[in-house]
Chain A
Amino acid sequence: DQQVKQNSPSLSVQEGRISILNCDYTNSMFDYFLWYKKYPAEGPTFLISISSIKDKNEDGRFTVFLNKSAKHLSLHIVPSQPGDSAVYFCAALSGGSNYKLTFGKGTLLTVNP
């Protein structure tokens, strides 16, 4: 039973355009969401997070939107750059078991020059 779903295994965009990565979750107990970015042969690095009490969080070119009623979040990257090419993981935490990050399977983003 996959509680965090990233239904698009890959996404390709042109440099300068917007990248939108999507994530759906099923567990209504999740109350904190994170995006991690991973380059090949490296560990994931934290990108941005959002608490369930918010519907938007922005950090430079990265914005995460949360729609609690739809159990959906998205990561927007504007403008996209070739260095953004990586695998992006959505992860979620619930108030009852905060030690455990539940990860999606990841989306490979390719930004073409």
Chain B
Amino acid sequence: NAGVTQTPKFRVLKTGQSMTLLCAQDMNHEYMYWYRQDPGMGLRLIHYSVGEGTTAKGEVPDGYNVSRLKKQNFLLGLESAAPSQTSVYFCASSLSGPPVYNEQFFGPGTRLTVL
């Protein structure tokens, strides 16, 4: 099992450009999440999905869109990148959600720089 994989690992964008980050998991997990981590900060939830075809906003959703067309994939889109979106982005997945607590498995991260 590859677990949770993220593509690309690194990316540099210019302000205003768009891009899509891809997250894939092969564990048949229902729940998937996108986080961002900034220097000196904990991880903050951007968007999440509780199943194929569903998405919901997290703590810091502005400037991002997501799609979950297939159970194993969760895409994070930046329509018009801004320097404030320079960050490390982590995708995670878990088998299920409440009321059962399951650990979240994280991908290796994508380091994005917006100039």
**Which segment of A54-62, A71-79, A102-110 sits at the interface?**
A102-110
Say which size band chain A's interface belongs to.
20 to 34
For B100, give the chain A residue with the smallest CB separation.
A98
Q: Is the CB of B4 within 8 A of A98?
A: no
Task: Answer yes or no: B90 CB below 8 A from chain A CBs.
Answer: yes
How many residue pairs at the A-B interface have CB separations less than 8 Å? 60
Contact of A42 among B43, B50, B97, B108 (CB under 8 A): B108
Q: Is the CB of A89 within 8 A of B42?
A: yes
Residues of chain B lying within 8 A (CB to CB) of residue A49: 101, 103
Q: Contact mask B21-42 → A, CB, 8 Å, 1/0?
A: 0000000000101000000111
Contact of A43 among B48, B56, B107 (CB under 8 A): B107
Q: Is the CB of B101 within 8 A of A32?
A: yes
For B59, give the chain A residue with the smallest CB separation.
A100
Sort A-B residue pairs by CB-CB distance and give the 6 closest, nearest first. A103-B42, A43-B106, A98-B98, A46-B103, A103-B43, A44-B106
B residues bordering A, Cβ < 8 Å?
A: 4, 31, 33, 40-45, 48, 50, 56, 58-59, 90, 92, 97-99, 101, 103-109
A residues bordering B, Cβ < 8 Å?
A: 4, 9, 32, 34, 36, 41-46, 49, 51, 89, 91, 93, 95, 98-106
